[in-house]
Copies of this chain bind each other. A is one copy, B any other.
């Protein structure tokens, strides 16, 4: 079955990722502005629960969700601690995926190169007057709607060369172990590290998170392989080393958050 067969044109998909929460009218206002310009767009909420102003959290979130979308989608990201300042707003194409995002590095953990980066600089596509504190409503929303209607991105403004990139820290192997850091804490409290699971060739014997040591950790394939309450290490669904407490909240128990240092020591093969 070809889902497009009976449709005369693709329904444009427009996703929203913000730190606005749902108790405030900000997401709703953005949806209104978008639908007023393009009532046929298919709005998809990715998240409005990014922790306030956490560009690092947004970056991991985007890196592990955007790649699954069809390239016809346009992804609008408003996690924007620099709103109203001189930070630019960018239209980006990264590995074929299209984003509209503040120039704060939130897109830089996405795999692949940015083949096109354009500064959103042409006020004629914006909602006027533009407020100093809510570019989501006044710039991102109308520009996104116009792109979904077929506006050529080159009309938005000039190409950009210099843009903000998050510094990416790489894990450091040492004799008998590997050092890394916490890349993300998920909704269940599972700790996702920046260490590729493939780099952990040997089973882990001991763990340090921050300045505390955990001499007991169980190597598992999935949560159900150990008893509830056990501290386990496994490969996350994103292919990274993950620390979890079975049916518990590892980040609270280990006092971990994004950036906390993590050290794994391999189990010695002989006693």
Contacts and interface: CB of A to CB of B under 8 A. Distances in A.
Interface in A74-97: 81-85
Contacts of A43: 44
A35 B69 contact: yes
A32 B188 contact: no
Given A29-B64, A221-B84, A222-B132, A44 B52 contact: no
A25 B60 contact: yes
Interface residues of A, number: 86
A39 B53 CA distance: 31
The oligomer's copy count stands at 3
Interface centre among A15, A28, A57, A137 (most CB of B within 10 A): A28
Given A6-B9, A24-B187, A131 B52 contact: no
10 A-B pairs with least C-beta separation? A84-B222, A32-B68, A21-B187, A134-B237, A28-B65, A85-B224, A32-B69, A25-B65, A22-B49, A28-B46
29 contacts: A1-B150, A6-B8, A10-B39, A15-B28, A15-B31, A19-B187, A23-B50, A24-B61, A24-B187, A25-B46, A25-B61, A25-B63, A25-B65, A28-B47, A28-B61, A28-B65, A32-B65, A32-B66, A32-B67, A35-B70, A36-B68, A39-B42, A45-B45, A83-B223, A83-B224, A85-B224, A133-B222, A133-B242, A138-B237
